[in-house]
């Protein structure tokens, strides 16, 4: 019974996470493309729009006005829309987020995050199941946090701590909901 319930929970959670990530990243990708179209229309309406916008960005970063306009002129000579969206949004045309990659990563992370606690519930003796499941959950979420930090080139410690805190809160929620029934 624990195996069937745990495995179905693991799969439904993993696929739910993947579907949510796919939807979220797809929306982000659509927004990135829409922003580029909007900026292109602004360039088409005002021939100095890109120059003014890029220069304004550099001025806000502390570059003096003359240098900022010099940089803007250099950039828009080569690739006007690319330079504008890069300066304004840090977007690169053609390098959009990948919803399938995000969904697959989320699927694997959620499945890994659920596998260790499930194994602890199945394999540990009865008197160790509760504590062992919490330890297994802590290990699993620390592992997925560290993998995400390494792959995303983020700081390791905050990613692990964040995942452990969220994982333990999730364990508490599951536990207390289970106690209700």
CA-based torsion, 19, 20, 21, 27: positive or negative: positive
Q: For residues 136-165, give the mean pLDDT.
A: 88
How many angstroms separate the CA atoms of 176 and 178, rounded? Answer: 5
Asked if residue 122 lies in contact with residue 3, where contact means CB atoms within 8 angstroms, the answer is yes
In the chain, what are the domain boundaries?
2-25+98-180, 27-89
pLDDT at 175 over 90: no
pLDDT at 152 over 80: no
Q: In terms of pLDDT, which residue wins out, 150 or 135? A: 135
Q: For residues 95-116, give the mean pLDDT.
A: 86
For the stretch 22-76, pLDDT in tens is 999 999 989 999 999 999 999 999 999 999 999 999 999 999 999 999 999 999 9
pLDDT at 20 over 80: yes
For the stretch 77-99, pLDDT in tens is 988 999 999 988 888 888 878 88
Question: Residue 51 contacts by C-beta under 8 Å, 6 or more apart in sequence?
Answer: 69, 72, 73, 76
Nearest to 90 by CA among 43, 57, 118: 57
Query: Model confidence at 112, in pLDDT bands (50, 70, 90)?
Result: confident
pLDDT at 151 over 80: no
Residue 123 CB neighbours (<10 A): 11
Put simply, whether the predicted model's pTM sits higher than 0.75 gets the answer no
Query: Model confidence at 144, in pLDDT bands (50, 70, 90)?
Result: confident
């Amino acid at each position: 019974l624990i195996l069937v319930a745990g495995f179905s929970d693991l799969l439904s959670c993993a696929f739910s996470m993947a579907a949510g990530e796919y939807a979220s990243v797809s929306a982000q990708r659509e927004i990135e493309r829409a922003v580029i179209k909007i900026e292109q229309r602004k360039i088409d309406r005002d021939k100095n729009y890109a120059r003014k916008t890029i220069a304004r960005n550099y001025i806000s970063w502390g570059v003096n006005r003359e240098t900022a306009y010099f940089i803007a002129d250099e950039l828009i000579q080569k690739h006007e829309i690319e330079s504008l969206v890069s300066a304004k949004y840090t977007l690169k045309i053609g390098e959009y987020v990948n919803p399938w990659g995000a969904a697959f990563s989320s699927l694997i992370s959620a499945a890994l995050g659920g596998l260790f606690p499930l194994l602890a519930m199945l394999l540990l003796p009865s008197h160790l199941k509760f504590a062992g499941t919490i330890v297994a959950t802590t290990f699993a979420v620390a592992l997925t946090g560290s993998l995400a930090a390494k792959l995303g080139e983020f700081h390791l410690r905050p990613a692990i701590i964040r995942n452990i805190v969220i994982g333990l809160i999730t364990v508490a929620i599951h536990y207390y909901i289970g106690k209700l029934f």
